[in-house]
Amino acid sequence: MSEQDKTLFQKIIDREIPGTIVHEDEHCVAFRDVNPGAPTHILLVPRKPIPRLCDSEPADQQLLGHMMLVAPKIAADEGFGEAFRLVVNNGAEAGQSVFHLHLHILAGRPLAWPPG
């Protein structure tokens, strides 16, 4: 991937720009959102640059499952146990602004339904 093709999130993962990282492993990195929608708002991003969830492939199944298991661990580490929400925006019309798949981990206040 060329430098100009890197997403903002890839640049954070590669430590080219700063981010407050709260978790990382060989598959994904989690960091605090700079424009939080809740008192705790963490973005969990795969190291593999998948633009949108609908761009994932069968080969990504293990990675996606890993992220779903890491998210509750991060929420627990942040002190929220079972009281958190996961959000995936798929495409611009769904609110996605960075085209590198990511899970929003939201916690720290009551979260209403429906969310949108």
Q: Which residues are catalytic?
A: 102
Q: Are 30 and 84 in contact (CB under 8 A)?
A: no
